[in-house]
């Protein structure tokens, strides 16, 4: 043990060793010192007894320093079959949106300047105009995500007042977005009405009083209630709101700008329909079905939007130039392109021809089989993709996958091997196999893993 301790160099000795020269030239000294200290501490505490070799120390150091340069989040391949996967970054941007972001990232832009008059302008103006044109609303605004859009709406319209919500719509969307908590944190009080499975118009009507701020309708994005159910429709609720002079807000969640049934996809609520149905404000996400960057939209009546746009919270929740330029480019496609289902990746993947997906799956299967060897069973199989992000949670779209299994390795071990690829490949495990849904795969070469490590290397 003493011999080992004696073999551990000091930080300075290692730094001045010729072996470390390439690292000393490539990285700043404080970083090298920090990393060497940490490494030497680990070596001192380890139970190993053999003397340490400087060559090994430098090699480990080199690997750790290289790892620090790995970008995060890391680009991955989405073979999960969920087109809008929240954990994988949701919508992919259209090429024109990517170009727009790059241009404003690299140079100055007219974010808040009216280039005709030279006077101060509004950063949302262009997106608002597009949203007005696309939804038929009187006005619109944009914040960081739909969660903040809901916070802004509740806080601007119901601060210190009650927000009336059906018990069937008190949803939790992913980890920490829960309607009751969001209402409380927005400075309003939740007034639950109805029951989990049935809420009637009179439940809302009975709850309205001098302390009512808004009536809130929430799209139950990630679940469905079946059986003996009844919910109040938006037109009914909007009529009640008008009669009693209480604003009606709808949190639409995904919120499609075009009717998906036009593309033979499961129908999702369309924003313009909610506007037409009389909602005073509608909130929805930018990176779900819309297919743009993370953002939260509010569209609705002019007077209601004015209250939100002048709130100090609006300033705290405002978007940056990159988000706004990507959103603007995306909305432009909705207005001006004649082949939206080609230029908007979300729609392109959702509407992708099954024969094309099958061809990708066959090509990928051939390469994967070659790479992994004959011990693996690699087959093209039918599977079901999902839209994701709370859009039509129970609806699926027929797709094709490469399904892989091995008599000696669990599907979880196979999944982990694919995630270890240079560009990690994310599939899913089910029915004793590892599945790579090819719906969102443009190039079969993206699905080829490293060779399976020989037993000795594992
Ligand atoms: C997804 C969703 C949200 C949250 O939207 P983000 O853009 O992720 O903040 C809020 N409400 C509903 C109904 C949703 O589906």
With a 6 Å cutoff on the Cβ, whether 219 touches ligand 1 is: yes
pLDDT at 209 over 80: yes
pLDDT at 175: 66
> Distance between CA atoms of 118 and 444, rounded to whole angstroms?
50
| Cα atoms found within 13 Å of the Cα of residue 212, Cβ hemisphere only | 22
Pair 142, 319: CB distance under 8 Å: yes
Q: Which residues pair with residue 398 across a beta bridge?
A: 384
With a 6 Å cutoff on the Cβ, whether 141 touches ligand 1 is: no
Given its phi and psi angles, is residue 388 left (phi above 0), alpha (psi -120 to 50 degrees) or beta?
A: left
Region 390-401: what's the mean pLDDT? 84
pLDDT at 118 over 90: yes
pLDDT at 341: 96
With a 6 Å cutoff on the Cβ, whether 292 touches ligand 1 is: no
Q: What is the 254 CA–ligand 1 centroid distance (Å)? A: 7
pLDDT at 250 over 60: yes
pLDDT at 457: 58
Query: Which residue's alpha carbon is at the smallest distance from atom 14 of ligand 1?
Result: 253
The rounded percent of the chain whose pLDDT value lies above 70 is 98
Q: Model's pTM, two decimal places? A: 0.93
Q: Helix, strand or coil for residue 239?
A: helix
When pLDDT is cut at 50, 70 and 90, the band that residue 21 belongs to is very high
CA angle 193, 199, 202 (to 5 degrees): 75
pLDDT at 455: 66
Residue range 185-207, pLDDT digits in tens:
999 999 999 998 999 999 999 99
Mutate to test the pocket of ligand 1, among 182, 183, 185, 253 (most ligand atoms within 8 A of CB): 253
Query: Which residue's alpha carbon is at the smallest distance from atom 11 of ligand 1?
Result: 253
Comparing 208 with 6, the larger pLDDT belongs to 208
Ligand 1 atom, smallest distance to 285 CA = 7
With a 6 Å cutoff on the Cβ, whether 218 touches ligand 1 is: yes
Residue range 131-146, pLDDT digits in tens:
999 999 999 999 999 9
With a 6 Å cutoff on the Cβ, whether 251 touches ligand 1 is: yes
Return contacts of 65-70, CB within 8 angstroms, 24+ apart: 65/23, 65/26, 65/27, 65/31, 65/32, 65/35, 68/31
Sign of torsion, CA 404 405 411 413? negative
pLDDT at 9 over 60: yes
pLDDT at 2: 79
Mutate to test the pocket of ligand 1, among 255, 390, 391, 393 (most ligand atoms within 8 A of CB): 390
Pair 10, 53: CB distance under 8 Å: no
Q: What is the 146 CA–ligand 1 centroid distance (Å)? A: 5
With a 6 Å cutoff on the Cβ, whether 144 touches ligand 1 is: no
Q: What is the 249 CA–ligand 1 centroid distance (Å)? A: 14
With a 6 Å cutoff on the Cβ, whether 166 touches ligand 1 is: no
When pLDDT is cut at 50, 70 and 90, the band that residue 105 belongs to is very high
pLDDT at 222: 74
> Distance between CA atoms of 266 and 17, rounded to whole angstroms?
65
**CB atoms closer than 10 angstroms to residue 444:** 20
Q: What is the 442 CA–ligand 1 centroid distance (Å)? A: 28
Quick one: which of 407, 191, 186 has its CA closest to 317?
A: 186
With a 6 Å cutoff on the Cβ, whether 253 touches ligand 1 is: yes
- Residue 142 backbone phi and psi in degrees, to 5: -130, 135
Helix, strand, coil content of the chain in percent (nearest 5):
45, 20, 35
CA angle 294, 295, 301 (to 5 degrees): 160
pLDDT at 47: 86
Kindly give, in sequence order, each residue whose CB lies less than 8 Å from that of residue 415, ignoring residues fewer than 6 positions away. Answer: 427, 428, 429, 434
Pair 189, 183: CB distance under 8 Å: yes
* Burial category of 449 from C-beta neighbours within 10 Å (exposed 0-12, middle 13-18, buried 19 and up): buried
Residue range 47-58, pLDDT digits in tens:
888 899 999 999
Ligand 1 atom, smallest distance to 222 CA = 15
pLDDT at 48: 86
Q: How far apart are the first and last CA of the chain?
A: 28
Query: Which residue's alpha carbon is at the smallest distance from atom 7 of ligand 1?
Result: 146
Mutate to test the pocket of ligand 1, among 91, 285, 297 (most ligand atoms within 8 A of CB): 285
- Whether a cis peptide bond, with omega within 30° of 0, leads into 73 is yes
pLDDT at 124: 93
Alpha helix (H) residue ranges in 143-291? 146-158, 179-185, 201-207, 234-244, 271-276
Quick one: which of 47, 20, 51, 25 has its CA closest to 36?
A: 20
pLDDT at 456: 56
With a 6 Å cutoff on the Cβ, whether 221 touches ligand 1 is: yes
pLDDT at 1: 61
**CB atoms closer than 10 angstroms to residue 409:** 17
Residue range 364-388, pLDDT digits in tens:
999 999 999 999 999 999 999 999 8
pLDDT at 267: 86
């Amino acid at each position: 043990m003493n011999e080992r301790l004696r073999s551990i160099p000091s930080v300075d000795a290692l730094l001045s060793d010729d072996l470390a020269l390439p690292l000393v030239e490539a990285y700043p000294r404080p970083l090298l010192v920090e990393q060497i200290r940490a490494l030497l501490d680990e070596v001192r505490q380890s139970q190993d007894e053999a003397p340490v070799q400087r060559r090994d120390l430098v090699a480990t150091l080199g690997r750790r320093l290289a790892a620090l340069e790995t970008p995060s989040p890391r680009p991955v391949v989405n073979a999960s079959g969920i087109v809008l996967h929240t954990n994988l970054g949701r919508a992919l941007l259209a090429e024109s949106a990517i170009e727009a972001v790059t241009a404003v990232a690299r140079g100055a832009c007219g974010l808040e300047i009216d280039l005709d008059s030279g006077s101060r302008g509004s950063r949302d103006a262009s997106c608002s105009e597009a949203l007005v044109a696309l939804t038929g609303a009187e006005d619109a605004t944009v914040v960081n995500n739909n969660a903040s859009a809901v916070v802004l709406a509740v806080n601007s319209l119901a601060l210190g007042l009650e927000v009336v919500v059906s018990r069937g719509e008190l949803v939790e969307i992913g980890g920490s977005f829960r309607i009751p908590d969001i209402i409380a944190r927005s400075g309003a009080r939740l007034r639950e009405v109805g029951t989990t499975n049935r809420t009637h118009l009179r439940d809302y009507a009975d709850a309205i009083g001098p302390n009512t701020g808004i009536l809130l309708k929430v799209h139950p994005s990630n679940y469905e209630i079946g059986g003996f159910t009844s919910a109040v429709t938006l037109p009914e609720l909007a009529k009640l709101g008008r009669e009693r002079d209480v604003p009606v807000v709808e949190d639409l969640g995904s919120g499609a700008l075009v009717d998906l049934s036009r593309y033979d996809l499961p129908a999702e609520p369309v924003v313009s329909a909610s506007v037409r149905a009389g909602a005073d404000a509608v909130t929805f996400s930018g990176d779900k079905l819309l297919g743009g960057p993370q953002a939260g939209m509010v569209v609705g009546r002019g007077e209601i939007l004015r209250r939100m746009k002048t709130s100090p919270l609006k300033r705290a929740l405002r978007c940056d130039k990159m988000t706004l330029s990507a959103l603007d480019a995306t909305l432009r496609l909705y207005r001006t392109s004649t082949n939206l289902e080609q230029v908007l990746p979300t729609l392109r993947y959702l509407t992708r021809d099954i024969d094309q997906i099958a061809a990708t799956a066959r090509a990928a299967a051939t390469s994967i089989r070659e790479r992994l060897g004959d011990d693996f069973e690699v087959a093209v199989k039918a599977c079901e993709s999902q839209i994701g992000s709370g859009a039509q949670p129970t609806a699926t779209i027929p797709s094709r996958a490469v399904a892989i299994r091995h008599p000696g390795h669990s599907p979880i071990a196979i999944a982990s091997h694919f995630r270890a690829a240079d560009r990690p490949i994310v599939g899913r495990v089910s029915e004793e196999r590892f599945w790579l849904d090819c719906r969102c795969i443009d190039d079969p070469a993206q699905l080829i893993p490293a060779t399976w490590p020989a037993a000795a290397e594992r």
